Each structure stands twice: as structure tokens, then as C-alpha cells.
Amino acid sequence: MIPGPTTLPGAVVQALSRPATDIYHGPLHDVSLDCLQGLSELFGTRERPYIFTANGHGGWEAALCNTLSRGDRVLALETGLFAPHWAETAETLGLSIEVLPGSWRRAVNCEALAERLRADTTGSIRAILTTQVDTATGVLNDIPAIRGAIDGASHDGLLMVDCIASLGATAFQFDAWKVDVAVAASQKALMTPPGLAFHAVSKKARKAHQIAGLRTSYWDWSLRDRADHYFWHSGTPPVSLLFGFQAAIQLIREEGLATVVARHDALASAARAAVEHWTMPGGVDLNVLTPGEQAGTVTVVRVPDGAARPLVDFCKQTFGVLLGEGIGALEGKAIRIGHMGHVGAPQLIGALGCLELGMRAIGIAHTSGGVEAALAALEGFAMEKPHTASGEASVIEISKQKRGVV
Ligand SMILES: *Cc1c(COP(=O)(O)O)cnc(C)c1O
């Protein structure tokens, strides 16, 4: 139950153990094509996506190297740990970095962003870096609103979005939202082991690519555009990971992306309902309190000082449930419940139950009955019968069929 790497579905594990195949001729080419097609569906883009043999940090570096030149300025929008970390990557590449300070409990302040961009009369800021979901804080950013702020300030910088902890779980529309580079990775909501990073790339980003000074052969989009499949991967393809990722895409297609998103939103609302129920003075509290700014993939729970480690240890040692500890400024102050990818009601309800027992055992003030509140949230969700891929079954039924939920 940590916010990545996440639990692998059986179908993915099985695909990972397929024997290796000819990397030059034959079906592997079609596996890559299917993965790229799946990425287009997940990102919501008609442009060609890219697959890198790398983790998320590699995807970050690749986004910068493909579009920028030494000395260019990037503006990172702070809503937690990850956009500022991305900016640190930029600094090592010789880019000039600036962080727009923000709260660790709120989404990007779009007015402050617009104001900063309007002040950039020379257009020195070449890229704006943000996260859709910050995994350290559980903040969900409104990407169309950020785009609106950039356009409202008539600013020309590239909008780069880290959707590593949200793609495949939270609605994302690369083309419609006019994102320039989106970065994702395999090991969060995409249910595949760490080792693949993904890009979606706009026409505007591709134009910037033509004059970018930081281009290197391994990350280079253009070199990966060559016809020979071997070059799509800048060398030997990550064969097993491609098999695994293809199987994960297939699971998402079968469940239906809209249903997958609805499942994540329902689980997130159940997690929040439990925490809100537990909340009392001197006890636990949601890190993000503002509706619409709460992630569907991870819930960050503030805990009394000194309680994070004992709580996480209790759940791990007593019940084998692995929760995340707070990171960055929330280290020692929060725990993180990951609920993304191959996860349903049994895992989440179970984890919340273990947490409640942990609070009892350790003596953290709380109102008991958080699990009941989570059940009530899921019940409400089951009654809504949201849209499904087949249009026949409710989300709960679909989840039951596909994931052994309930
Ligand atoms: C996990 C994560 C990363 C880092 O990914 P790695 O694969 O560990 O390099 C970056 N951004 C966000 C939002 C993440 O959740």
C-alpha cells in the first residue's frame, strides 16, 4: 500500500516471465507498437509517445534534454517534493532554476503563477514544471487551470507535467489540455515493475527540440524516430518490461479507462472518509483538506510527532501491510496510503482496518469507526453506477469480475 512501486497483477507477472524473443525481427516490434498505442490512449494524445528504459528520474531528465539549452530558465511549481526535485535535475544539466513557492497542502496558486509569468517580460522562463499528483503531499493539481494561467499571461514557456503517480488512474488529456511534455513511469498506477519511463510530446515541444542544446543520443526523440525498431529503444529493447506493460495496458482496456479512474476516485474518497472520521485534536488529519485538490492515488495522513514510524512499523510487522512514511518536509510527520494500480476495496479496507488497530495499539487519539465510514463512502459509490466500458455493469461488478474485489 505504498505509493509505488505498486502490486503487480498476476497477468503482468505472467507476461514478465515470458521467454525472451528475437529483438531484431518478429513480434517484438508489434509489442512496442501496442505499448505506444496504449500510451496514446492513456495520455490522450494523437502525437507519438516515447518509451525509455529508465525510471521516473530518467523521464524527467529526458524531458529537459530534448527541449532546452544550457542557461535556459525553468520554473518549478511547488506543491510538495517532486517538482522542486525535477528542478534539481535541471540544475545539474546547467539550466537556471527557479521554484515558485507553494503550500504543501494546496494545489498550485494559479494567480501567483500568472503574476510571475507576466513579470517575465523577456520570456526567460523556457519551461514550467509541475506534477499532476505530488506523491509526498497527496496534492492533485488542476492542469487545465495551470494551462489557463500560462495562456492568460500570454507566456510562451513549455508546460511540462509529471504524471508519474497519476497516469492510468486520474483523468489526463494531453492534447486537449495543451500540455507540452508529459512524463510518466511504469511502476505506479501502471502496474508494471520500475524501469520504463514514458513521454507524450506536443508539436510545440518538438519545435523546441529542433534547437535544443542539451540533446544527448540516448534520450533523443529524433534518434528514436528512426524506422528500425532497435532505435525506438536506443538499443536493446527492455523485452520483459514491454511484455509486462503490454499486459497492464490490456487490463486497463478491459476494465475501461473511465472505470479505472472511477475506481481510484472511489477508493480515494473511502480513504479520506476514514481519516476524516478518525480526526480529533492531537490525532491524525488529512494533509490536503481542500476538495478538488486531493489525489485519487495517494492519501497523505498527518500524524502526531513521533507516531509515523511506530504506526508504519506496527502495520508492517503485525499485519504485513506496507504503508509509506512521510517524505521531505513531512518526514516523521505523516504516513502515506498508496491506492493506485492493482488495488480494490479489499486491500484498501484491510489497510484502513490495520491502521485503526495501529492507532489503538500505539495510543494515537482517534474516533474509532473509520473503516465503517470508508464502507459508507464505497456504498454511496456503488449506488451511483457510473459509466463503464461495457455500459452493462457497475464499477463494483466490473471490479469484482476483473480484480476479485468485494
Ligand atoms: C515516484 C515519483 C517520481 C520518481 O520516480 P522514480 O521512478 O522513482 O524516479 C517522480 N514524480 C512523482 C510524482 C512520483 O510519484
Q: Over 50: is that where the pLDDT of 79 sits?
A: yes
Torsion region of 328: left, alpha or beta (phi above 0 gives left; psi -120 to 50 gives alpha): left
Task: Report yes or no on 143 lying in a domain.
Answer: yes
234 within 8 A of 54, measured Cβ to Cβ: no
Q: Quote the pTM value.
A: 0.94
Q: Which of 203, 222, 253 is the last residue in one of the domains? A: 253
Closest CA to 135 of 295, 260, 274: 295
Q: pLDDT tens digit string along 308-322?
A: 999 999 999 999 999
Full DSSP string of 294-352: B-SSEEEEE--TT-HHHHHHHHHHHH----EEP-GGGTTTEEEEE--SS--HHHHHHHH
Total tally of structural domains belonging to the chain: 2
Tell which of 208, 230, 253 closes a domain. Answer: 253
**Is 242 in the same domain as 109?**
yes
CATH number at residue 287: 3.90.1150.10
Residue-averaged pLDDT of the chain? 94
Q: Are residues 190 and 284 in the same domain?
A: no
Look at residue 383 in the predicted model and tell me its pLDDT: 61
Does residue 5 sit within a domain? no
Cell numbers describing residue 58: 530518467
Rounded to whole angstroms, how far apart are CA atoms 181 and 189?
19
Instruction: Assess if residue 159 is contained within a domain.
Output: yes
pLDDT-derived band at 26, boundaries 50, 70, 90: confident
Domain for residue 366, yes or no? yes
Domain boundary among 222, 253, 284: 253
For ligand 1, atom 5, which residue shows the shortest CA distance? Answer: 56
Q: Does 398 score more than 70 pLDDT? A: no
Q: Give the three cell numbers for residue 60.
A: 524527467
- Is there a contact between 338 and 377 (Cβ–Cβ < 8 Å)? no
Ligand 1: residues with CB < 6 A are: 4, 55-57, 82, 131, 134-135, 162, 164-165, 185, 188, 194
Range of the domain at 378: 256-405
Residue with the smallest CA separation from ligand 1 atom 4 is 56
DSSP tag of 48: P
Q: What is the mean pLDDT of residues 368-378?
A: 97
Q: For residue 20, what is the domain's CATH number?
A: 3.40.640.10
Distance of alpha carbon 257 from alpha carbon 42, whole angstroms: 8
Distance 299 CA to ligand 1 centre (A): 16
The residue to mutate among 137, 161, 162, 172, having the most atoms of ligand 1 within 8 angstroms of its beta carbon, is: 162
Which pLDDT score, from 0 to 100, does residue 381 have? 75
- Same domain, residue pair 244 and 301: no
49 C-alpha vs ligand 1 centroid, how far in Å? 19
Give the CA angle between residues 209, 211, 214 to the nearest 5°.
Answer: 75
The verdict on residue 40 lying in a domain is yes
pLDDT tens across 231-290, in order? 999 999 999 999 999 999 999 999 999 999 999 999 999 999 999 999 999 999 999 999
pLDDT at 74: 98
Q: How many CA atoms, within 13 angstroms, populate the side-chain half-sphere of residue 10?
A: 3
Reported as type and span, the H/E element at residue 125 is strand 125-131
